[in-house]
Amino acid sequence: MTDINYKHAAILLVDDDDIDAITVERAFKKLRIANPIVRAKDGVMALELLRNDLVPKPYIILLDLNMPKMGGLEMLEELRKDQSLNKSIVFVLTTSKDDEDKVAAYNYNVAGYILKEKAHNGFDNLVKLLDYYWRIVELPES
* Residue 114 bridge partners (DSSP): 93
- Check pLDDT > 70 for residue 7: no
Average pLDDT over residues 87-111: 94
Which pLDDT score is estimated for 127?
Answer: 76
Check residue 3 and give its pLDDT: 42
Decide if domain 10-136 falls under CATH 3.40.50.2020. Answer: no
Model pLDDT for residues 71-89, shown as the tens digit of each residue: 999 999 999 999 999 999 9
- Reported pTM: 0.86
Cis peptide upstream of residue 36 (ω within 30 degrees of 0): no
Of 17, 85, 18, 16, nearest to 49 by C-alpha is 85
